[in-house]
Amino acid sequence: MKVDYLIAEIGSTTTVVTGFNVKSQGKEISIDKLFQGKSCTTVLDGDVNIGLKNAIKDIEMQVKEPIYWDRMLATSSAAGGLKITVHGLMNHMTVKAAKEAALGAGGIVKMITSGKMRGIDVKRIHDINPNMIMIAGGVDYGERETALYNAQLISGERFDRPVVYCGNVENRQEISEIFKGQELYIIDNVYPRVDELNVEPARKIIQKVFEKNIVKAPGMNRIKDMVDGSIMPTPGAVMESSIILYDMIGDLVTLDVGGATTDVHSVTEGSSVVLDMLVNPEPKAKRTVEGDLGVYINSKNIVDLLNVKDIGEMDKRYILAHIRPIPLEKEDIRISSILTKKAVEVAMNRHVGTIKRKYGGESGFIAYGKDLSQVKYIIGTGGALTRLPEGKEILLGIRNLNSDDMTMMPGKMAEVLIDKDYIMACAGVLSRDDKEAAKALLKQSLLQ
């Protein structure tokens, strides 16, 4: 059987491969013959292609014939994901902007420094062994010395890692000279003016650098033997789909509960009332990644957070005994639902902002963080929320049902959409090849 696309999502525990055809009838684009296969990810076995081939065999067993394809794309959060260290000037300004860009691109921010770095910071970078280093600092035509100092320190260590400079535009020539002979990318300032974030240019270049360097990761070095198209970080691909959906249906938040992490992607400006109260600007498209909340690899962290309200008198040792990478038995599925519900609850509370009353001479309120009060749709993707029977009920539970409560959570009118075909990551990377086909894929999975 022949398909137009085969798209692999290579997760930390599971590899899912989706095959489909793109049909055109006039201006109408639709998806035909969508098939999915899955297998355990085999990065730790030294070759990710073993898992890819096993997932393809899973499809072939379903359709009872060999499968061929015109083009293969992939997303990956395996091999440690996209590890980034971020170094800027002030924590709530340039550092925050660079961090938002890194997270929005699908990165895992492993280290942040503010101001001039020290020797211990350099040691930590060596210990982390990141896939990429970001240097920011100073608004355009503002402070210059900190970014240049940090650049000299990092360059002198010869980390042999790509460096992205996204700070004061006046430093560009000196930065180029400092990193001469090293892999360097110079882009627009992520914080060009006070209270202005500019994260999109950085988001795009980070994904480009990831695609170029992911093939060097242990276990991933042979991926180009099979994948002949784009490779994106899985969280970055999910964000891309969330942005496309925002243009289709409006303000939304997407939750992706995985085996190792729980990601929250929101695309919304928030309410004008909260915007006027914000202490620091927030990006329209924001991602937070909770690296301690996963329903398999990091399941013990979630179990430690469970209380009587979550599990009654159930013994936590019993819960740990029923955790599986792909739960199939009834009791294993029930336990996975309990963990998923807790992961969603904690991740949302960490993602959403807060409103606080001012004290002192001036009365009123101030806001910190992301406002989700205008969200119309709560979207569930990832294995846990799309395959467990209680995914929709879990997401309905995060809505703010008290309209008088000064929370920035989605309101009681927000609807839940489940990515029933588990294709949001696929659609994100597909949008690089064919945006209209990506829209058709999202529409079929979420809106029909």
Lowest mean pLDDT segment, chosen from 30-34, 131-135, 179-183, 414-418: 30-34
pLDDT (0 to 100) of residue 364: 83
| pLDDT value of residue 154 | 97
Cβ-contact 131, 161 below 8 angstroms: yes
Q: Select the highest-mean-pLDDT range: 76-90, 142-156, 187-201.
A: 142-156
> Using one digit for the tens of pLDDT, what is the confidence trace for 14-36?
899 999 999 988 888 999 989 99
Confidence (pLDDT) at 405: 58
Closest CA to 424 of 204, 239, 231, 293: 239
Q: Longest Cα pair distance anywhere in the chain, in angstroms?
A: 75
Please, which pLDDT band fits residue 113 given cuts at 50, 70 and 90?
Answer: very high
CA distance 380 to 256: 6
Domain 82-216 has CATH 3.40.50.300: no
Helices (H), 15-95: 48-63
pLDDT level of residue 410 (50, 70, 90 thresholds) = very high
Going by pLDDT thresholds of 50, 70 and 90, the confidence category of residue 406 is: low
Range in 33-42, 77-86, 176-185 with the lowest mean pLDDT = 77-86
Tell me how far CA of residue 423 lies from CA of 17, 44, 65, 82, 293, in angstroms: 10, 25, 23, 21, 22
- What's residue 417's pLDDT? 98
pLDDT at residue number 436: 95
Tokens of 128: 């982390």
What percentage of the chain has pLDDT greater than the value 70? 98
Report which residue type is found at 285. A
pLDDT, tens digit, for every residue of 70-110?
Answer: 999 999 987 677 899 999 999 989 999 999 999 999 888 99
Q: How does DSSP classify residue 171?
A: G
The mean per-residue pLDDT over the stretch 354-378 comes to: 87
Please determine, for residue 326, whether its predicted confidence score (pLDDT) is greater than 90.
no
Q: What percentage of residues in the chain have a pLDDT greater than 90?
A: 77
Mean pLDDT, residues 384-388 taken together: 93
pTM over cut 0.75: yes
2-79+218-225 and 82-216, same CATH topology? no
**Quick one: DSSP state of residue 110?**
E
On the question of pLDDT at 404 being above 70, the answer is: no
Residue 357 has pLDDT above 90, yes or no: no
3-class secondary-structure state, position 400: strand
Rounded Cα–Cα distance for residues 236 and 292 (Å): 19
Return all residues near 320 (Cβ < 8 A) that are at least 6 apart.
299, 300, 303
pLDDT band at 321, cuts 50/70/90?
very high
Q: Answer yes or no: is pLDDT of 430 > 70.
A: yes
Does position 365 have pLDDT exceeding 90, yes or no? no
Name the average pLDDT for the chain.
93
CATH, range 2-79+218-225: 3.30.420.40
* φ and ψ at residue 282, rounded to 5 degrees: -120, 145
Give the pLDDT confidence score for residue 376 in this predicted structure. Answer: 97
Residue 407 above 80 pLDDT?
Answer: no
- For residue 18, give the DSSP letter: E
Domain boundaries, the chain: 2-79+218-225, 82-216, 232-447
